[in-house]
Amino acid sequence: MKFTLGWLKDHLDTNKDLDTIVDTLTNIGLEIESVQDKSKDFNDFTVAEVLKAEKHPDADRLKVCTVKSIDGTFQVVCGAPNAREGMKGIFAPENSFIPGTGVKLKKSKIRGVESCGMLVSEREMGISDEHDGIIEVDSKYSLGEKFIEVFNLDDPVIEINITPNRGDCLSVRGVARDLAAAGLGELKENTLIKNIEGTFDSPVQWEKDFIADEEFICPGVAGRYFKNVTNKESPPWLQQRLKAIGLRPISALVDITNYITYDLGRPLHVYDADKISGNLKMRYAKENEHCLTLDEENRECTTDMIVISDDKQLHGIGGIMGGFDSGCSLETKNVFLETALFDPISVTKTGRYLKLQSDARYRFERGIDPTSIQWGVQAATKMILDLCGGEASRPVQTPILDVKKHTFDFNTNKIKSLGGVDVPKDNQKTILESLGFDVSERDNVFNITVPSFRPDIEGEADIVEEILRIYGFNEIPLTNVSDYIDKKTVLSSELKSFYKIKRAIANTGYVEAVTWSFMDEKVAKLISDNVIKIKNPISADLNVMRPSNIPNLLNAINTNKSKMISSGKIFEVGPIFDETLEDRQVNVATGIAYGNISGNNWNSEKKDFDVFAIKSDLIKILKSLNTPVDSLNYEAISNKIFHPGKSSSLRIGKNIIANFGELNPILLKSLDISNAVVVFEIFTETLAQFQSKKTSTVSAFDNNPFQAVERDFAFLLPKSVKAIDLINKIKKIDKKIINKVSIFDVYEGEKIDENSKSIAIRVLLQPLEKTFSDEEIEGFSNQIIDVIITSFKASHRK
Amino acid sequence: MSLSVDFEDIKKKIDNCKTLQELEVIRLEYLGKKGLIPAEMKLLGKLPIDQKKIKGQELNKLKTFIEVSVNDHKILIENAELEQKLKNESIDVTLPHNEEATGKIHPISQTIFSITEIFGNLNYSVEAGPDIESDFNNFSALNIPPHHPAREMQDTFYVNNSNGEDNVLRTHTSPVQVRTMLKSKPPIKIIVPGRTYRSDSDSTHTPMFHQVEGLVVNEDATMADLKSTLILFLKEFFEIDNLKYRFRPSYFPFTEPSAEMDVAYTKKNNVLKIGEGDDWLEILGCGMVNPKVLENCNIDSSVYQGFAFGMGIERLSMLKYGITDMRGLFDLNLKWLDHYGFSPLDLKTRSEI
């Protein structure tokens, strides 16, 4: 919402300066978007006279002018065709800053002739695109008069943000009312609303056609007929105000409707009455009806749109835009006026469907003062008769739906109990009354009648806001909000694992990234058959919810290649989405690793990240979230993400805790990635069960004093035997004594049968009550050998 | 007979030894089987008892003295030899070491950790909810009916639901307010950090971003408590004692009264300083929970009241950590992530340990 300070002062009698007004607007909830005060920018430019204009000796199109300004006489080289002796124009002196070109003016020589200062065009002043000649001003202006005064640009333009609830402040008068309530002055009488009787019966009538249940769609419409008007350019004051707020003056009749829309928040429409056949009717559009709107678009109407029609055709879309065919032109002689009321929801739907925004729609959507049906006619009448002459008919209107006054009780203690600040009762009453509320008082209760222009006010909470915003949010005192009593758990176990795992993963050398929850359907389909599609994606390659974090993270590989970064460890903790999941999403911590493990250093192992590198990271991460990693069970993965032979799921109980392994080369190929990538995925919620452990409940340390013993074994085994099964089998012999089983060598190759592998195992035996005897150690060794041979068709290698 | 040896002489002989071999010769001379001391010991038996005792003590004293002196000198010689050896063992320690990858925490996570820590100390607990939401939770329950102009303030992503209804990608974290109020009774005191989505993409908007939401519902929370909480939070978050702020009326369908908070800032040499200056930066929206929202969530608005607030995590991160390009947060530029990321040991607790 834009207006000028001068315009505001039409409604507000105030002696406050611009800064005070601007600050107050923000403080009462009408937030300042911008303030344009051109008086500083244009201070240097004044009216000057061209004393002489002679042809430039070396250029046909240039003239050498002698210009007299208030500061003296200057020689100016000028290319404008209209520069001539005796004219008055606007002079920009040397060293002034030209707003339209953004250049500081310097003394120069143009084709050998010195030029000092400049006669400016409208474009150079930044007030229009006009650049065919220099500005000419009327000879009545004297030398030295300021450009901004001649052009009426000295009125500061204020733009404020109006929140959707404050339709009443989409008018200068509404803004003035709020400022008056805030103590900045008095709201003046509205001079536009004068009762003008009219001298004849309107030849055109307003009708409406809605069933009783839907009267609310168009609660009423009024208007009147004007004959013998003269449409012409608006007077300068009106044009300047419209230009100042960014509207283009068209003709007096059209400008009046725009002016009243901004001045009083009352959208209007004027029809060229000679283009109307019969009466005008508000009704729903019929199937296949079209309306050519003022913007010269032929709009197809749907049957839930309100349209205005005569006997032959449509003349507008209710609350949105008038029709082209009956629009007013400079030839218009007879006019018919519309001031209507429409259901905000209906207008919103229609506007959205047509993708058509207008000042009228904007106001109807936010709610308009229903009493303005009648006073809107009067305001328009006064302006039309004042500016265009002619004669007004008696007003006409359809039946108008009664609007019940909205009244309710307000307990004055509510300001303290909800707002936390004491505002004296009298103060509360004064504020409400200055905002247009009727207040009758009884004890601590106000019976409040809401003014017709405030449909947003619903109950006590709204009244608290009204009083407080005028009283000042700054007056709300501070309280002590520290709360050390009743300590609660900050994070649930689920959230603790979700957040804490980020530190655990970063601590293992991974860099955290945050990527879109969306991805390309083409890639997503390689991963899941139950992808969730976005109906209105931001772009075609971000059109589904990601069924995995992995493809987004993989983008890092090619993105960073150009920076000569060829290896990395990256992770993200966030949701993945799939139709089959509960709530259709689950949180996953995903890490990828690729390229050389330790860079290309002189003594590093020249080795790429492989399955066992990522497994080592994964187990470290799981351990730091208290996961009992000794209880992990391995399970084959059956999805398209992982390499089928180089991956595994890890399960505890019935939950899959994590997946890890090498990515499927087919997936990598489709993403144009040529190197191998290893990955882990941790389902963070499954770790919740391990998070409640209290640090104060550690079991006692068992300081076993007896000498531990190590024994090595080598077995020849079928290739299909899994290492974890070997280890578990040996541990099972005696979980207390067999402390550790490690595998220190694996061999497959020429020296042994091609279906076999050789595995070397080291077992750590810890005596519990006394040091082992040789016989006891021998006994354990034999037991181990027997178990492996019988369980796995193995042979013992001595 | 008396012992014709002088302690000083022996000590000198031992200390003059240059090698372990020389030292061994001297040791054998005195302490070896055929050495001086065993020889003297053998003679003891022939002496009278009173002399035997005195002589024996002298011999033992001498023996101990020689043993200690030899041992001391042996260590000296060994160390000297070792030192000589070490001189020839030098390597070039300036050769580069193997670099282990250094992990980093993303600025958005670090910001969420900070926020959680501050509100955790004020006894808030953290809640979460799904990104794909019902229209009811995201809009209707929050007093945003289907054709309310407020819905145009946020361009919503829609996804299909299996039963044909429209679901939305939550446009704010506020639906978690609704979920929390529906499943638990007051008092409620929560914050909700999380991913949010709006169909908007330019230099200052991304289609996905993060918000943190706060909700307090009890019998007596006031706007004064709301204002105080937010000021306390902002001071803690930006680590400043003096915060110049503006608490001004605004509008949200789900709060009444509603407010926005601006903080003052100055910009010098492209560096923002929060908390003082003449320019204002909008930092959050808040208000007293609209009674309609409480009723929509089955909470009796004649008994309970409360406040809610919401803010953008990207904006907080950028202001606090001096990040100028919002899109950098979502790019996969490893150099950027390493530059703006945080050590996993950079804990946002008060003691920083």
DSSP string, A707-728: PPEEEEEEEEEETT--HHHHHH
What does the angle CA A452 – CA A458 – CA A462 come to, to the nearest 5 degrees?
A: 105
Q: How many angstroms separate the CA of residue A414 from the nearest CA in chain B?
A: 10
Phi and psi at B284, nearest 5°, equal -165, 165
Q: How far apart are CA A378 and CA A401, in angstroms?
A: 19
Higher per-residue pLDDT: B40 or A466: A466
pLDDT digits (tens, 9 = 90+) for A67-110: 999 888 999 998 888 988 989 999 999 888 888 888 888 888 88
Using 50, 70 and 90 to split pLDDT, how confident is the model at A694?
low
Evaluate whether residue A756 is within a structural domain.
Answer: yes
A481 falls within a domain: no
The whole-number pLDDT of residue B201 equals: 86
Structure tokens at B127: 């809640």
Residue B14 domain-assigned?
Answer: yes
The pLDDT tens digits of the residues spanning B10-55 come to 899 999 999 999 999 999 999 998 888 888 888 888 888 888 888 8
Predicted confidence (pLDDT) at residue B350 exceeds the cutoff of 80: no
Which structural domain, as residue segments, surrounds residue B59?
Answer: 7-87
On the question of pLDDT at A35 being above 60, the answer is yes
List C-alpha distances in Å: A548 to A278, A574, A656, B42, B103: 66, 10, 16, 93, 22
Q: Looking at chain A from residue 164 to 203, which residues have their Cβ under 8 Å from any Cβ of chain B?
A: 164-166
The whole-angstrom separation of Cα A765 and Cα A740 is 8
Compute the C-alpha angle B176/B180/B186, nearest 5°.
140
What is the rounded distance in angstroms from the CA atom of residue A540 to the CA atom of residue A521? Answer: 9
Tokens matching residue A187: 């709201």
Question: Which two three-digit tokens encode residue A178?
Answer: 């709020």
Q: Are residues B247 and B302 in the same domain?
A: yes
Per DSSP bridges, beta strands B305-312 and B279-289 are: antiparallel
A51-55, A211-215, B96-100, range with the lowest pLDDT: B96-100
Q: Do A576 and A548 form a contact (C-beta atoms < 8 A)?
A: yes
Residues of chain B above pLDDT 70, percent: 97
Q: Could you tell me which residues are beta bridge partners of residue B160?
A: B166
Query: Does residue A725 lie in a domain region?
Result: yes
pLDDT at A701: 86
Question: In whole angstroms, what separates CA A740 from the centre of its chain?
Answer: 58
DSSP state of A492: -
Spacing of C-alpha A129 from chain mean position: 33
* Pair B216, B279 in one domain: yes
Please state the separation of Cα B342 from the chain's center in Å. Answer: 9
Residue B36 lies in a domain: yes
Q: Are A342 and A415 part of one and the same domain?
A: no
Structure tokens at B332: 């996969």
The model's pLDDT over A148-159, given as tens digits with 9 standing for 90+, comes to 888 877 889 999
Tokens representing residue B9 in the block: 């002489």
Read off the CATH number of the domain in which A379 is found. Answer: 3.50.40.10
Beta bridge partners of A760: A714, A745
Nearest to B222 among A417, A491, A552 (CB): A417
Please indicate, yes or no, if residue A196 is contained in any of the structural domains.
no
**A206-211 average pLDDT score:** 94
Same domain for A619 and A659, yes or no, is yes
**Which one of A512, A555, A583, A607 makes the best mutation probe of the B interface by having the most chain B beta carbons within 10 Å?**
A512
Tell me the per-residue pLDDT of B244-301, one tens digit each, with 9 for 90 and over: 999 999 999 999 999 999 999 998 887 888 988 988 999 999 999 999 999 999 999 9
DSSP string of A248-299, one letter each residue: PP--HHHHHHHHHHHHHS---EEEEGGG--S-EEEEEPPTT-EEEBTTS-EE
Same-domain status, A29 and A142: no
Q: Can you tell me the distance from the alpha carbon of A468 to that of A462, in angstroms, rounded to the nearest whole number?
A: 10
C-alpha to C-alpha distances, A411 to A417, A463, A467, B221, B328, nearest whole angstrom: 10, 10, 13, 17, 51
pLDDT greater than 70 at residue A546: yes
| Contact assignment for A461 to B329 by CB distance below 8 Å | no
Could you tell me the pLDDT band of residue A485, with boundaries at 50, 70 and 90? low
- What is the pairing mode between strands A568-577 and A511-512? parallel
* Placement of tokens 């042994």 in the chain: A752
**What value does the mean pLDDT of chain B take?**
91
pLDDT at A389 over 90: yes
> For the residues B302-310, what does the mean pLDDT come to?
97
- Put residue B270 in one of left, alpha, beta given phi > 0 → left and psi -120 to 50 → alpha: left
Instruction: Check whether residue A263 and residue A312 sit in a common domain.
Output: yes
Is the pLDDT confidence value at B154 over 90? no
* pLDDT single digits (tens) B203-222: 889 999 999 999 999 999 99
Task: Using an 8 Å CB-CB cutoff, list chain A residues near B122.
Answer: 481-483
pLDDT band, residue A599 (cuts 50/70/90): confident
Contact call for residues B265 and B277 (beta carbons, < 8 A): yes
Contact (CB<8Å) B125/A491: yes
Q: What is the pairing mode between strands A206-209 and A306-309?
A: unpaired
The answer to whether residue B160 is domain-embedded is no
CB contact under 8 A, B148 and A164: yes
Tell me the backbone φ, ψ of residue A410, rounded to 5 degrees.
Answer: -130, 125
Domain shared by A257 and A381, yes or no: yes
pLDDT of residue A486: 65
- Determine the Cα–Cα distance for residues B348 and B341; give it in Å rounded to an integer: 14
Measured in residues, chain A has a length of 798
Tell me B38's DSSP state: H
The arithmetic mean of pLDDT across residues A700-715, rounded, is 90
**pLDDT of B2 over the 60 cut:** no
Among residues B202, B147, B331, B178, the alpha carbon closest in space to that of A555 is found at B331
- Which uninterrupted H or E stretch holds A209? strand A206-209
> Three-class SS of residue A412?
coil
B249 touches chain A (CB under 8 A): yes
The pairing of beta strand A280-284 with beta strand A206-209: parallel
Q: Would the CB atoms of A464 and B288 count as touching at under 8 Å?
A: yes
Residue B210 lies in a domain: yes
Q: What angle do CA B182, B183, B188 make, to 5 degrees?
A: 85
How does DSSP classify residue A350? H
Find out whether A33 and A160 touch, Cβ atoms under 8 Å.
yes
User: How far apart are the C-alpha atoms of A176 and A190, rounded to whole Å?
Assistant: 11
Both B74 and B197 in one domain: the answer is: no
Across the interface, whether the CB atoms of B199 and A513 are under 8 A apart is answered no
B257/A484 touch (CB, cutoff 8 Å), yes or no: no
Q: Do B153 and A553 lie within an 8 Å CB cutoff?
A: no
8 Å CB contact of A29 and B249: yes
- Angstrom CA distances, B150 to A387, B115, B139, stand at 39, 28, 10
Residues A29 and A141 in one domain: no
Q: How many folded domains does chain B comprise? A: 2
Residue B308: phi and psi, rounded to 5, are -140, 155
| Cα distance between residue A571 and residue A658, in whole Å | 14
User: By the 8 A CB rule, do A2 and A171 touch?
Assistant: no
For the segment B186-202, what is each residue's pLDDT rounded down to a tens digit? 999 999 999 999 988 88
Average pLDDT estimate for A747-761? 91
Q: Do B109 and A511 touch (CB under 8 A)?
A: no
Contacts of B299 (CB under 8 A, 6+ apart): B181, B185, B186, B217
Please tell me whether residues B229 and B267 are part of one structural domain. yes
Round to whole Å and give the CA distance between A432 and A124. Answer: 49
B/e letters for B124-155, b = 16+ CB within 10 Å, e = fewer, are: bbbbbbbbbbbbebbbebbbbeebbbbbeebe
User: Quick one: B122 and B265 in the same domain?
Assistant: yes
Claim to verify: residue A427 and residue A390 sit in the same structural domain: no
Instruction: Say if residue B70 is in the same domain as residue B121.
Output: no
Domain that holds residue A101: 46-150
Spatial distance between the Cα atoms of A161 and A169, rounded to a whole number of angstroms: 10
Tell whether B93 is covered by a domain.
Answer: no
Considering CB atoms only, which of A344, A535, A539 is closest to B159? A535
Contacts of A103 (CB under 8 A, 6+ apart): A97
Tokens describing residue B320 = 């606090």
Check: CB of residue A746 under 8 Å from CB of residue A762. no
Whether residue B97 is contained in a domain is answered as: no
Pairing of strands B125-126, B188-197: parallel
Q: Which residues of B touch A169 (CB under 8 A)?
A: none
Q: Give the nearest chain A residue to B146 (CA atoms).
A: A345
* Bond before B187 cis per omega within 30 degrees: yes
**φ and ψ at A793, to 5 degrees?**
50, 45
- Reported as a single tens digit per residue, the pLDDT across A171-201 is 999 999 999 999 999 999 998 888 899 999 9
Task: State phi, psi for A111 to the nearest 5 degrees.
Answer: 50, 50
Q: Which two tokens stand for residue A259?
A: 């002016």
Query: Can you tell me the distance from the alpha carbon of A109 to that of A181, in angstroms, rounded to the nearest whole number?
Result: 59
Mean of the pLDDT values across residues B139-150? 83
* Residues B111 and B21 reside in one and the same domain: no
The residue-averaged pLDDT of A50-55 equals: 89
Domain shared by A684 and A574, yes or no: yes
Within-domain flag for B161: no
Does the pLDDT value for residue B325 go beyond 60? yes
Q: State whether B212 and B309 are in the same domain.
A: yes
Instruction: Single out the residue in B23, B52, B87 at which a domain terminates.
Output: B87
Residues B104, B105, B109: CA angle, nearest 5 degrees: 170
- Please report the pLDDT score of residue A695 as a whole number: 61
Give residue-wise pLDDT tens across range B60-81: 999 999 999 999 999 999 999 9
Residue A198 covered by a domain: no
Strand ranges inside A655-722, DSSP E: 655-663, 677-683, 709-718
Q: Which two tokens stand for residue B52?
A: 């035997």
Please give the tally of structural domains in chain A. Answer: 6
- Supply the pLDDT for residue A39: 76
Give the nearest partner residue to B305 out of A418, A495, A535, using CB atoms. A418
Lowest mean pLDDT among A63-72, A474-483, B151-160, B187-196: B151-160
Residue B120 lies in a domain: yes
Residue B232 and residue B195 share a domain: yes
Closest chain B CA to residue A490: B125
pLDDT at B153 over 80: no
Shared domain check, B281 and B175 = yes
pLDDT of residue A617: 96
Q: Buried (b) or exposed (e) across A672-695, using 16+ Cβ within 10 A?
A: ebeebbbbbbbbbbbbbbbbeeee
Q: What local confidence, expressed as pLDDT, does residue B145 receive?
A: 84
Asked whether residue A200 is assigned to any structural domain, the reply reads no
Residue A484 belongs to a domain = no
Residue A303 and residue A421 in one domain:
no
Query: For residue B288, what is the nearest residue in chain A, using CA coordinates?
Result: A418
**Which residue, of A690, A719, A754, is where some domain finishes?**
A690
Amino acid identity, residue A436?
Answer: G
Confidence grade of residue A127 (pLDDT, cut at 50, 70, 90): confident
By residue count, chain B amounts to 353
CB proximity list for B339: less than 8 A, separation 6 or greater:
none
Residues A680 and A550 occupy one common structural domain: yes
* Same domain as B116, residue B24: no
- Whether residue B178 is found in the same domain as residue B250: yes
pLDDT at B1: 41
Q: Would you call B247 and A476 a contact, using CB atoms and an 8 Å cutoff?
A: yes
